[in-house]
Amino acid sequence: MFEKLETIERTYEELTQQMTDPAVIGDQARYTKVAKQSREIEPVVEKFRELRKLDRDIAGAKELMRDAEDEEMREIAAAELPELEDRRAGVENELKVLLLPKDPNDEKNVIFEVRAGTGGEEACLFAAEILRMYARYAERHGWKFQVTDSSETGLGGIQKAEAIIEGDKVYSRLKHESGVHRVQRVPQTEASGRIHTSAVTVAILPEAEEVDVKIDPKDIRVDTFCSSGPGGQSVNTTYSAVRITHLPTNTVVSMQDEKSQIKNREKAMRILRSRLLEIERQKQQNAISAERRSQVGSGDRSEKIRTYNFKENRVTDHRIGLTIHQLDQIMEGGIEGLIDAVVTHFQAEKLTD
């Protein structure tokens, strides 16, 4: 691990040097790329330097314990050593987490979905509260939370809602929130005071980026033919019309607006790219839909990841066995403790793997 960290540190120093190079500063695209690379590895380098300092401090404390003539100095070093070693173990663990393979989606914004599951109107009311909870959490982090679609019910609940959450590393914080959220409480519509159990599903999806369509020349067939219809003397006399077929998708575009074959081909290629872009977008949407289904299951109460019990003012995350008796604060967006614990749990699993 240390060899890898030393390599990363050298790379960081080289990037820092490049950022002072007039040639790099004068090339905006290159400077942006170098600065981005530097920012990405800076936390690792800072933590590595902290680890090395702790190693020096530990070595110094051990030397004092062994060689110091002053008894008081030896006692101070002996008292300080366990604390230094504990700090070192913590920093080393943080470094291991920083060195884990990065999820390419971690930096992305999020498409947030919440849907009422089993429980009728009570599930719809809780879905509205869950939506508000995450909106408040986003607000605490300075993120932008914009509801893009909502299907409301008569009593103030929602059947389903969708929002875009924009901000710094949103997906990295929220990606483990997907699943069934179960609520146990006496519904507003319950006259006898019995506790009901209802469920809502939450899906956290990384926002799809614009797809760049690159067309391999080997994937297209270009046919030329005589124009037909209005067009003056050149109609039916020159092969200016163009038909382009994209073989992998069997997408066909014909163009004969221009008298020039070159111009018709350029126009046809622009339209072909647009159509292929739409095909890719549709594929992404289908993949997102499949991902959402895999995340939220059927919305049945038995598939719960978390239970919110209002009578006992508690929330339990069943994946990590954590219970917090602060439900009132959590419903106001104070879910940092839950999210931190879940993120730490899954990071630990990765480290074990």
- Both 48 and 170 in one domain: the answer is no
pLDDT in tens, 253-264: 888 767 788 888
Taking each helix axis from N to C end, the angle separating 71-98 and 336-352, rounded to the nearest 10 degrees, works out to: 90
Q: Is residue 83 part of a domain?
A: yes
Q: What is the CA radius of gyration of the chain?
A: 30
Using a 10 angstrom Cβ sphere, with 0-12 exposed, 13-18 middle and 19 or more buried, the burial of residue 141 is middle
Q: Is residue 243 part of a domain?
A: yes
Q: Is residue 138 part of a domain?
A: yes
> What integer pLDDT is reported at residue 5 of this predicted model?
86
Last residue of a domain, one of 269, 286, 303: 286
225 Cβ neighbours under 8 A, 6+ residues apart: 239, 241, 243
- Both 20 and 166 in one domain: the answer is no
Last residue of a domain, one of 36, 65, 98: 98
> What integer pLDDT is reported at residue 303 of this predicted model?
63
CATH for 158: 3.30.70.1660
Q: Could you give the number of structural domains in the chain?
A: 3
> What integer pLDDT is reported at residue 74 of this predicted model?
84
> What integer pLDDT is reported at residue 233 of this predicted model?
45
Q: Is residue 103 part of a domain?
A: no
Q: Is residue 90 part of a domain?
A: yes
CATH for 55: 1.20.58
pLDDT in tens, 6-61: 888 899 999 999 999 899 888 888 888 888 889 888 998 999 999 999 999 999 88
- Both 175 and 303 in one domain: the answer is yes
- Both 202 and 224 in one domain: the answer is no
Contact 240, 256 (CB under 8 A): yes
With tokens 């002996």, the residue in question is 78
- Both 201 and 245 in one domain: the answer is no
- Both 127 and 248 in one domain: the answer is no
For the CA atoms of 19, 21, 22, 24, what is the dihedral angle to 10 degrees? -60
Q: What is the spatial distance between Cα 90 and Cα 86, in angstroms, rounded to a whole number?
A: 6
> What integer pLDDT is reported at residue 229 of this predicted model?
53
Q: Residue 306's domain spans which residues?
A: 110-210+295-352
SS3 of the chain: CHHHHHHHHHHHHHHHHHCCCHHHHCCHHHHHHHHHHHHHHHHHHHHHHHHHHHHHHHHHHHHHHHHCCCHHHHHHHHHHHHHHHHHHHHHHHHHHHHCCCCCCCCCCCEEEEEEECCCHHHHHHHHHHHHHHHHHHHHHCCCEEEEEEEEECCCCCEEEEEEEEECCCHHHHHHHHCEEEEEEECCCCCCCCCCEEEEEEEEEEECCCCCCCCCCHHHEEEEEECCCCCCHHHCCCCCCEEEEEECCCCEEEEECCCCCHHHHHHHHHHHHHHHHHHHHHHHHHHHHHHHHHHHHCCCCHHHEEEEEECCCCEEEECCCCEEECCHHHHCCCCCHHHHHHHHHHHHHHHHHC
- Both 127 and 202 in one domain: the answer is yes
Residues of the chain with pLDDT under 70: 189-191, 208-213, 227-237, 257, 281, 292, 294-303, 353
- Both 87 and 120 in one domain: the answer is no
Last residue of a domain, one of 286, 308, 328: 286
Angle, CA of 170, 212 and 36, to the nearest 5°: 45
The first and second tokens of residue 181, run together, are 């959220």
Q: What is the spatial distance between Cα 298 and Cα 151, in angstroms, rounded to a whole number?
A: 19
Query: How many CB atoms sit inside 10 A of residue 276's CB?
Result: 20
Q: Is 204 left (phi over 0), alpha (psi -120 to 50) or beta?
A: beta
Q: Is residue 93 part of a domain?
A: yes
pLDDT in tens, 162-189: 888 999 889 999 999 999 999 999 887 6
- Both 204 and 299 in one domain: the answer is yes
- Both 122 and 193 in one domain: the answer is yes
- Both 38 and 163 in one domain: the answer is no
Half-sphere exposure of 166 (CA within 13 A, CB side): 6
Q: Is residue 202 part of a domain?
A: yes
For the CA atoms of 185, 187, 190, 196, what is the dihedral angle to 10 degrees? -40
Q: What is the spatial distance between Cα 179 and Cα 207, in angstroms, rounded to a whole number?
A: 18
> What integer pLDDT is reported at residue 149 of this predicted model?
79
- Both 203 and 225 in one domain: the answer is no
Q: Is residue 104 part of a domain?
A: no
